[in-house]
A and B are shown apart, each in its own frame.
Chain A
Amino acid sequence: MSPGLSSARRLAQERRTAIRRRTHHIRRWVAALAVALFLCAFAVVYVQMASGHDPALTASSHRNATTTGSAARSEATSTSSEASSSAEEEEFGEEGSSEAGPSAVTTSQS
């Protein structure tokens, strides 16, 4: 084997090793980036939820507050129907809703 050929082979081998090393380095870097991205997103969503600013939970708690308010309203209406006429029932129902509303909202915010 001529010295020129062996040095060319060595050069090619070194180049292949360098490419393999760089590829390995890139893979590790991407894996670290993926983990960091996941942890970062997890932390943001977690803190958002824990602080009561989660978009889905805020929307659903508002819906629950409205439902609870309506339930309290209908309950108040049925209780009052035993003692009052139907016209008075409606009036009391309106009062019941104004009382039940804030308490439900307070619950959802706490």
Chain B
Amino acid sequence: MLLATATVPHLFWITSRAAGIAGLVLASLSVAAGLLLGGRLLSAHRSELRAAHEALSLATLAALVVHGLTLLGDAYLHPSLADLAIPFLSGYETLWTSAGIVAFWMLLVLGLSYYARARIGVQRWRRLHRFAALAWALGLVHSLGEGTDAGETWFLACVAIAAAPAILLLLGRLRDSSAPARIGAVQ
């Protein structure tokens, strides 16, 4: 009972932290699924991967909305909606907070643009969609730089397990895309 009473004033904060962690793990899984979708690995399961990638992306966006909106109720930070939506406006850990805000807007625009890809043009949309990995990396930087639990072993282990496959796949993709250029340069 005493324990519950002690945590009640921080419920918004706890919810925001939990949603942020869930968002980071879901985003990492989504990036990994997206990279697998574009690669030759698991090409036989393309429709399942596409469904997983889409569902994971939408779940990430939902978690990030909860992460931001619950902070509005936090009695300690007490941010305004503008502080949470506009980069470089909040006075609290301005750089890390802005990294998170920019990452969120990038993920939102690049994610939801999937539904307008016919209008944008599939090739152009694909080129743009690559920046989603950059947004995810920004989110990772935001969580490690500003996250309350960033120094905790369980958090670091959780992030490492979730992010490692995406990082490896991303490095593989970058290596693959730079290989023809290198060969061309040698020739």
- On A, residues with C-beta under 8 Å from B are 19, 22-23, 26-27, 30-31, 33-34, 37-39, 41-42, 44-46, 48-51, 54-57
Contact B59 A31 (CB under 8 A): yes
- Cα A54 to Cα B147 with chains together (Å): 12
Give Cα A90–Cα B48 distance, bound, in whole angstroms.
74
Q: Are B151 and A42 in touch, CB under 8 angstroms?
A: no
Give every chain B residue within 8 A of A51 (Cβ-Cβ).
3
Would B18 and A34 count as touching, CB distance under 8 A?
A: no
Give the number of chain B interface residues (Cβ < 8 Å): 29
Q: A45-B149, A55-B148 are in contact. Are A30 and B7 (CB under 8 A)?
A: no
State the CA gap A49–B12 with chains docked (Å). 13
Contact A34 B22 (CB under 8 A): yes
Q: Which residues of A contact B48 (CB under 8 A)?
A: 22-23, 26
* Interface presence of B187 (CB below 8 A): no
Q: Contacts A34-B22, A41-B18 given; 5 further ones with Cβ under 8 A? A: A37-B21, A38-B66, A42-B15, A45-B149, A50-B4
Do A55 and B17 touch across chains, with their CB atoms under 8 A apart?
no
Q: Is the CB of A50 within 8 A of B7?
A: yes
Residue of B4, B56, B148 touching A56 (CB-CB under 8 A)? B148
Chain B contacts for A57, CB-based, 8 A: 10
The answer to the question of B179 belonging to the interface, with a C-beta cut-off of 8 Å to chain A, is no
For this complex, 6 residue pairs linking A to B, each with C-beta atoms less than 8 Å apart, are A26-B51, A26-B52, A45-B21, A49-B7, A50-B3, A50-B4
